[in-house]
Chains A and B, each alone.
Chain A
């Protein structure tokens, strides 16, 4: 520098120096600006870096989340795979079921066809059947009414179906034109087959009446639930006429038999009294046999006559006041005396000491002695017979039977051979004798229970029984407490 000072400085040089300084200043300024810009850039870069760092951090977080999601997805995928497997199994099962259903549907179609056939068959049978058939549901509404029923009643199926049977089809007693006991309701109530009483008339649409016989049978599902009832009835006009002719014939024949039977009876009596000279003891023995056999003929004749009288409706009723209890006691006493050799134990149980009723003694005796002598007949030596009396109320149920009116109930039970199941619904039928009765006692007529039933029908009483083979039998009969209906 010293040198410079020494060296004279030319104007030119100063100028150049000044330019140089100016340039330098410009450069410096530029540099400052550049430095500033650089600082700014650095700052910006720093900003960018921190942003990048943040972004990196975020990305890391996202990555982490993604990883977690991925893991979850893996688990889910596994679950799905499992589910898919299960679904496959279910699908297989479903396919199995579907196949079965298809098979069932096929069977059902087949069954439906069978049913349709059965219905056609049923319709054909019902249409061609000789008896009138009516069916009702459990509420008593008629659901079926066949052609014969239409013909017999005069009502068209349309007029009957859907209505309660009671509103249209009416049955009355021949005796007094009063409605018969509702045997249809009884069948549905008790769940057992019922038959209507003898001498029942059907009132036709035009008001005329025809004698009918019929039965009502309740229908149940296999489960035992009552669905309804089938009623079958038929016109018995012809049968009635035949029956009447038969009764008249029996009546006449029996009357004709009475005189010879009387003659035999009286002449054997004479011989036994030695009226025509002394008869040897041996001869008396023989004559006694003739006399006894004749007595049996007499009994049969009387039975037959009673029946024809009942059937022809000429049974005269002679009502007198009777103490029923004394009557029962006496009846037992008499029959007991005749069966001493059987050593039967008689038990008696009465509801009161004395019970007066207005009734025909002869008729009552026929009922009671028939039932009691049956009990004695079919009870083994040393057996037990019990006779009980009680009062029963209307609609009460006694051994499956619904009581129709307030009545006196008499039961006669034994521990005898019982009635075979196959015979049970026939025992009140005329001339019917069950197999075991026939084998044990050859001399019965098969008329006793028929008489009992006829008499009780006549006086408005009921008769029924319970019986089991080798265990015994209980017969029940009722006499209405109200005045007994008068016969014609």
Chain B
């Protein structure tokens, strides 16, 4: 990274053990971590803090990840370009999800079970770099 400023990541995940392990791992890697446990919380925090990257679960109470992403892209200029990594274990409706993700780039689709922490970190660093 060119500047010394810590990269900020917002992790939105309703499953607390997952939220914790992602947060711990990203902290270890030198990220500044913001945490939210549903889409609405995530949206508020994102608008307020403007993180460099968002790690976003899809299936959540109050507001799901796809809605949060769409709102972010629609309502704020900053929100239009922030890279979002969507994490899910959903396997049905894959086509529909992929379509929404494609329309809301820069966004990436990751199946939780298939991605190790190291792989997610690598992907996150790439996403921020490309930005």
Contact = CB atoms under 8 A, between A and B. Distances in A.
A302 interface: yes
Main secondary structure of the interface of A (DSSP, over half): helix
A251 B91 CA distance: 10
B95 interface: yes
Interface string A257-300: 01101110111011001010000000000000000000000100
Interface in B16-46: 17-18, 21-22, 24-25, 28
Interface string B110-131: 0011001110000000000000
Interface residues of A, number: 22
Given A262-B18, A269-B118, A275-B25, A316 B94 contact: yes
Contacts of B118: 269, 273
Given A262-B113, A266-B21, A309 B89 contact: no
A255 interface: yes
Contacts of A318: 95
A314 interface: yes
B21 A267 contact: yes
A408 interface: no
Contacts of A259: 15, 18, 89, 112
Interface in B67-121: 89-92, 94-95, 112-113, 116-118
B82 to A, nearest CB: 24
A332 interface: no
B131 to A, nearest CB: 25
Contacts of B89: 255, 258-259, 262
Nearest to A254: B91
A201 interface: no
Contacts of B28: 275
B117 A269 contact: yes
Given A269-B118, A270-B117, A309 B18 contact: no
B112 A270 contact: no
A263 B91 contact: no
Contacts of B90: 255
A267 B24 CA distance: 10
Given A258-B89, A275-B28, A305-B91, A270 B21 contact: yes
A263 B113 contact: no
B94 A263 contact: no
Contacts of B18: 259, 262-263, 266
A294 to B, nearest CB: 10
A301 interface: yes
A263 B116 contact: no
A301 B25 contact: no
A262 B95 CA distance: 22
B72 to A, nearest CB: 25
Given A259-B15, A259-B18, A270-B24, A265 B116 contact: yes
23 contacts: A255-B91, A258-B89, A258-B113, A262-B18, A262-B89, A262-B112, A263-B15, A263-B17, A263-B21, A266-B25, A266-B116, A266-B117, A269-B116, A269-B117, A269-B118, A273-B117, A275-B25, A275-B28, A301-B113, A302-B113, A309-B91, A309-B92, A316-B95
Interface of A: 251, 255, 258-259, 261-263, 265-267, 269-270, 273, 275, 298, 301-302, 305, 309, 314, 316, 318
**Top 3 A-B residue pairs of the complex, sorted by shortest distance between their CB atoms:** A258-B89, A266-B21, A262-B112
Given A259-B15, A316-B95, 15 more contacts: A255-B89, A255-B90, A258-B113, A262-B18, A263-B15, A265-B116, A266-B18, A267-B21, A269-B118, A270-B24, A273-B118, A298-B113, A305-B91, A309-B91, A314-B92
